[in-house]
Amino acid sequence: MKRIVVTGGLGYIGSHTVVELQLAGFEVIIIDNLSNSSKDVLKGIVNITQKEPTFVELDLRDKQATISFFTKYDNIDGIIHFAASKAVGESVVNPLLYYENNVTTLITILQQIQKKENIPFIFSSSCTVYGQAEQMPIPENAPIQQAYSPYGNTKQIGEEILLDTTKAVNGLQVISLRYFNPIGAHPTAEIGELPIGVPQNLVPFITQTAIGLRKELAVFGNDYPTKDGTCIRDYIHVVDLAKAHVIALKRLLSKTNTESFEVFNIGTGKGSSVLEVIESFERVSKQKLNYSITSRREGDVVAAYANTTKANTILGWRAISSLDEAMLSAWNWEQKIRKTN
């Protein structure tokens, strides 16, 4: 059985990926510092998979503790690296936190990988590396524009570090998955998105507003050059996204990739505006959402949605869930956690 380390494995995307890895027969070791997650997520993973992954509470910014981890767990077959700060708005306010969390920790992990033999590595990247792209849908070979936020810049820097490292370290194989906007929850409602504090992303703010936890949803700007004036994003169900990691990992383990550093867009290929997401939520939940239009938010691009042809053809992966299905799963999750808390 292949042993896979998942950093940030109790987080939103990480936990869904752990589920899919275990269902696919992998042994999983989770690293998480619990800064934006909870050990309770382990219960949800076990309830879905009937198997408990190994959990190690570790802050990757602690270099010595990270070295000790890789010394103890020396038989590793692959690493999926999620651990990072991820909110665009917060990164604008606190850029140094993002450079510390997202860049220095990646370097520390790669330093440990160099000491071992050819550990396949999957990097949690982002469509923010494209900045405001000049064409839609965005292909992987689109020019990398200046990042609109420190968060986006850390993902650009991360990919540059990985590319340089694969050139220098013989046999290192890396796949960088550029996510668009993950939403939704596992269909069992055992795990889902549960941000600590005020949500930085649209969908959990929608569901928390609908459940009464937030007074009102702020829509940041309705004067963008889009069909209804609000920003357009590519919203992908988190389970579809998680499955892409398993497929990418199998590609690395089978050594069918011919390049040491590969990049794939992971999205639906369809753009939805903020107002369309709200309409989808109201349709599936039968709830009227309280929202208002406010000024634009610094760091937001006008539109971003994926060209997924490369992932569809090379990985054999594609998103299958609709926006409505994703929004309904998010609402089911929100209702469940508020009943149990």
Rounded average pLDDT over 70-96: 92
- Chain segment 272-310, per-residue pLDDT in tens: 999 999 999 999 999 999 999 999 988 788 999 999 999
Confidence of residue 258 (pLDDT cuts 50, 70, 90): confident
Q: Would you say residue 135 has pLDDT above 60?
A: yes
How far apart CA 341 and CA 83 sit, in angstroms, is 26
The reported pLDDT for the residue numbered 46 is 98
Question: 238, 248 in Cβ contact below 8 A?
Answer: no
Confidence of residue 331 (pLDDT cuts 50, 70, 90): very high
Confidence of residue 319 (pLDDT cuts 50, 70, 90): very high
How far apart CA 216 and CA 214 sit, in angstroms, is 6
% of the chain with per-residue pLDDT over 90: 83
Rounded average pLDDT over 39-65: 97
The reported pLDDT for the residue numbered 148 is 81
Question: Residue-wise over 183-207: b if at least 16 C-beta within 10 A, else e?
Answer: bbbbeebbbbbbbeeebbbbbbbbb
Confidence of residue 86 (pLDDT cuts 50, 70, 90): confident
Task: From 277, 305, 296, select the one nearest 209 (Cα to Cα).
Answer: 277
Full 3-state SS string of 273-327: EHHHHHHHHHHHHCCCCCEEEECCCCCCCCEECECCHHHHHHHCCCCCCCHHHHH
Q: What is the pTM of this model?
A: 0.96
Task: From 243, 250, 293, select the one nearest 266 (Cα to Cα).
Answer: 243
Rounded average pLDDT over 127-143: 91
The reported pLDDT for the residue numbered 341 is 57
Catalytic residue among 151, 224, 235, 305: 151
The reported pLDDT for the residue numbered 340 is 63
The reported pLDDT for the residue numbered 310 is 98
The reported pLDDT for the residue numbered 24 is 98
How far apart CA 9 and CA 39 sit, in angstroms, is 10
How far apart CA 115 and CA 118 sit, in angstroms, is 9
Question: 30, 9 in Cβ contact below 8 A?
Answer: yes
Tell me, yes or no, if 130 is annotated catalytic: no
Question: Residue-wise over 97-108: b if at least 16 C-beta within 10 A, else e?
Answer: ebbebbbebbeb
Record the tokens describing residue 50, joined without a space: 């009937």
